[in-house]
């Protein structure tokens, strides 16, 4: 008798499987909505504290966000964001550590991949590791040659290495990508006045500077 009851209890009622599947689908949908809401909230709060110039507080929320995902793309984004917060706090060594963690994940998102390399280069410049910085800046330019950030950081690296002509070329490329950077135009003028080889090596340099000065109303 007990065996018969056991058998009866294991028999599914008509429609029970379908009902369970529908409920599972609904529950998973709600869970996904909750996850998305949580991620959005953590990101918003982190950005809020960053704007309030509280990078350490912002970091705690970004760390919580990173700890709640196993997706490599999302983790890479979180590590990239953590590195940017450390840069904001001028802790360049800590920033490099976070960027390197993002680098190891090799995200497929080209924007993240570009800024990981660019930002490592920038932080290495701040740490006066100019030879290493050059490598990462050049890789960032290879990833996306239309963005101007890596051209500037490459120029800084080359200038610090005493390669003034190459630095000037990189700064010109940066201006071509972002014509509104007035400080960059002024820096290139100063560099030109200090190193005669730039004028002889880039014949059009004076015309380039004059063009961007006029464009920016300088």
The model's confidence at residue 138, banded by pLDDT at 50, 70 and 90, is very high
CA distance 199 to 202: 5
3-class DSSP state of 76: helix
Residue 14 pLDDT greater than 60, yes or no = no
CA distance 162 to 160: 5
- Of 28-32, 36-40, 133-137, 141-145, the one with minimum mean pLDDT is 28-32
The model's confidence at residue 134, banded by pLDDT at 50, 70 and 90, is very high
For the chain, report the end-to-end CA distance as a whole number of angstroms: 97
pLDDT-above-70 percentage for the chain: 86
The full set of domain ranges for the chain reads 162-218
CA distance 149 to 181: 11
Backbone angles phi, psi at 184, to 5 degrees: -65, -40
Residues in the chain: 218
pLDDT in the model for residue 28: 54
Q: Which of 127, 129, 167 minimizes the C-alpha distance to 151? A: 167
* pTM for the full predicted model: 0.82
CA distance 125 to 56: 23
CA distance 156 to 76: 26
pLDDT-above-90 percentage for the chain: 68
CA distance 150 to 122: 8
pLDDT in the model for residue 217: 83
DSSP letter (8 states) at residue 15: T
Instruction: For 182-208, write each residue's pLDDT tens digit.
Output: 999 999 999 999 999 999 999 889 998
3-class DSSP state of 140: helix
Q: Which of 47, 98, 52, 50 minimizes the C-alpha distance to 75? A: 98
Instruction: For 144-170, write each residue's pLDDT tens digit.
Output: 999 999 999 999 999 999 999 999 999
């Amino acid at each position: 008798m007990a065996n018969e009851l056991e058998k009866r209890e294991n028999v599914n009622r008509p429609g029970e499987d379908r009902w369970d599947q529908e409920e599972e689908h609904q529950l998973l949908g709600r869970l996904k909505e909750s996850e998305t809401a949580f991620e959005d909230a953590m990101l918003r709060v982190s950005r809020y504290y960053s704007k309030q110039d509280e990078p350490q507080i912002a970091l705690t929320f970004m760390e919580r966000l990173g700890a709640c995902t196993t997706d490599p793309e999302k983790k890479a984004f979180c590590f990239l964001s953590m590195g940017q917060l450390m840069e904001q706090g001028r802790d360049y060594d800590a920033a490099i550590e976070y960027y390197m963690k993002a680098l190891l994940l090799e995200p497929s998102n080209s924007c993240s991949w570009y800024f990981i390399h660019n930002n490592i280069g920038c932080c290495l410049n701040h740490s006066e590791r100019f030879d290493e910085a050059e490598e990462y800046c050049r890789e960032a330019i290879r990833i996306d040659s239309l963005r101007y950030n890596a051209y500037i950081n490459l120029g800084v690296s080359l200038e610090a290495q005493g390669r003034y002509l190459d630095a000037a070329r990189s700064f010109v490329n940066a201006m071509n990508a972002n014509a509104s950077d007035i400080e960059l135009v002024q820096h290139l003028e100063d560099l030109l006045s200090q190193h005669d080889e730039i004028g002889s090596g880039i014949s059009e340099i004076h015309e380039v500077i004059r063009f961007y000065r006029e464009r920016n109303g300088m």
